[in-house]
Amino acid sequence: MINIVLFGPPGAGKGTQADILKDNYNLVHLSTGDMFRYNLKNETELGILAKSFMDKGHLVPDEVTIKMLNAEVDRFMPCHGFLFDGFPRTEAQADSLEDLMNEKQTQINAMIALEVDDEVLVDRLLERGKTSGRKDDANEEVIRNRIKVYYNETAILKSYYEKQNKYFGVDGVGSIEEITQRVSKIIDGL
Ligand code: AMP
């Protein structure tokens, strides 16, 4: 198996790249943001619980997020590998992912982070908010808060994977094809 964590602030292009990479490398794409939005739309118990956090741009509590992610991993096993998008976002999530991978007798091979300047992110997300219908993309304050949360709460993950020599930063500015090429070069070298 090959298991990749795709990382980067909101608006960095994780979803776009994940869509391409999952096909190119035959990976199961698991986006915790998409899972929460699905539950929100269908007004499940989980969706109702997550809504108040998501609307403000805050993280949903670890316990809830980890339980949801583990269930999804189980659902797709066995498979060729996973492309995790938006998870892990905290050290507790990273630890639990490590345990889960060990349990499946596999491991995380790399965290690939798309690096994009803050002002470019805000512009991209406001633009996306015009058509996506996402409440958390419509308001500049919420967008800036999500970027702040990303740096405050998730910066620790960079050192987490750096310590294991698994962190790879990629310039996330350029055409979609250019960025796919940069990321693919890393995956091919693993
Ligand atoms: P995203 O689409 O990845 O930007 O996620 C949208 C929202 O879903 C986030 O702002 C959080 O409220 C929630 N969320 C997604 N992934 C996680 C996670 N790994 N841990 C906690 N909350 C998450």
Question: From the candidates 128, 135, 144, 166, which is the catalytic residue?
Answer: 128
In the block, tokens 């909101």 appear at 10
pLDDT at 153 over 80: no
Annotation marks residue 89 as catalytic:
yes
Domain boundaries, the chain: 2-184
pTM: 0.92
For the stretch 85-132, pLDDT in tens is: 999 999 999 999 999 999 999 999 999 999 999 999 999 999 988 888
Q: Which of 51-55, 128-132, 153-157 shows the lowest per-residue confidence on average (mean pLDDT)?
A: 153-157
Question: From the candidates 134, 135, 158, 166, which is the catalytic residue?
Answer: 134
| Atom 11 of ligand 1: nearest residue by CA position | 59
Strand ranges, E, within the chain: 4-7, 28-31, 82-85, 110-115, 167-171
Alpha-carbon dihedral of residues 75, 50, 15, 118, nearest 10 degrees? Answer: -150
Task: Over range 57-85, report the average pLDDT.
Answer: 96
CB-ligand 1 contact for 168 (6 Å cutoff): no
Give residue 149's pLDDT band: very low, low, confident or very high (50, 70, 90): confident
For the domain spanning 2-184, the CATH number is: 3.40.50.300
Give residue 181's pLDDT band: very low, low, confident or very high (50, 70, 90): very high
